[in-house]
Amino acid sequence: MSDARARARDLGIAIGALPTGPTNSVLDVEGVGLGHVTITRDTARTGVTCLYLADDTYPRPLVGGGAVLNGLGDCTGFLPLQESGLFESPVWLTSTSQVGRVFDAAFQLELGRHPDIADDIFVPVVAECDDSFLNDVRTMWVQPEDVRAAHEAALASRGSTSPPDEGSVGSGTGMSCLGFKGGIGTSSRVAPGGHTVAVLLMTNFGQRSRLTVDGVPVGRLLPAPVAPPQRQPPPAGSCIGVVVTDAPVDPLGCQRLAARVGLGLARTGSTAHHGSGEIFLAASTTARTDRDLTALDTGPRLAGRALDDLFEAVVDSAEEAVLNSLLMSPTTVGRGGNTSEGLDPDTVVRLLREHGRLGDPA
């Protein structure tokens, strides 16, 4: 097995026909940043991730929406988002056990940036997946300084010409996906109309036998795992997905974009297990307003059949983001010796070549 990690595109795995953005990530949407703090000391295999959507999201919210494929997970701020159709904060990702810690710190951080929050209602968006297979969830690992550091890293990443860190970083540190080490993955597409659509995932779902890469049933073709069954990650987990686009889309359109993330997960093998929480969000960075809706941007919105290209972009980006989260994650040993095996890129390439999905190397 190779120790080298590679994104799907680096291996020649290109999902769909639409072109990617320059970094093939959420950073391809102008103004968006992504930052992580990874915590791996002692029995910790966890962290926090900040997806920075735009400047001043509290005074000038972004239009947004969400969708739930399976609801055994949680996301603070989801109900206000669905009711108002507005994003007022960055999106924070973390472990189930750390949601309260991140929420508190995110609230204080935004209060420092916008003191008038004290006179209004503000609910940070914090979404979670369960990392208890690898991480000791009895300890509250995340500190306020970790949340601030993730936020600062997200700000610093805006405009980067390089892809962000993926795999076992930030909130993805303790996650497992489709029987292998999962975590953070992202991908982007440029739609025919010129709009960029990007997807960020925190992957923690699925069974090894169902792993599918570009249509090839890789999970069924791989040899059985050598570790004893009790050391294998459980099949039920969760997946948080965030769609970000510069296309002008209204709240209903954002809900529809968010729902399409589930199709990308299904292509990789997800069946949305009973115990899995698939919660998806979507935001338009060019559709903004103020908090009282008195200065609503009333420019044209894409709707109806005009969304079809964006739907395609979401599905393909979500599928590729899952693969990036797997291929960029090394084997990780966590609490009690529990081990989540990294998916070997060389083996994936070999199987795809055998099934005619990749050409032979030049």
Catalytic positions: 238, 276, 278
Phi and psi (nearest 5°) for 42?
50, -125
Cα 37 from Cα 154, distance rounded (Å): 10
Q: Which residues pair with 288 in a beta bridge?
A: 62
What is the torsional sign of CA 76, 78, 81, 84? negative
Burial degree of 18 (CB within 10 A; 0-12, 13-18, 19+): middle
Cα 316 from Cα 162, distance rounded (Å): 20
Measured at the alpha carbon of residue 80, what is the angle toward residues 74 and 81, in degrees to the nearest 5? 85
Cα 314 from Cα 199, distance rounded (Å): 7
> 3-state DSSP helix/strand/coil percent for the chain, to nearest 5?
30, 25, 45
Whose CA is closest to 185, among 9, 361, 353? 9
- Number of Cβ within a 10 Å radius of residue 307: 20
- The strand ranges marked E within the chain are 33-39, 46-52, 62-71, 75-76, 86-87, 91-95, 125-129, 176-177, 180-181, 184-190, 196-204, 238-245, 277-288, 332-333, 339-340
User: In angstroms, what CA-CA distances link 178 with 174, 205, 212, 334?
Assistant: 14, 6, 9, 18
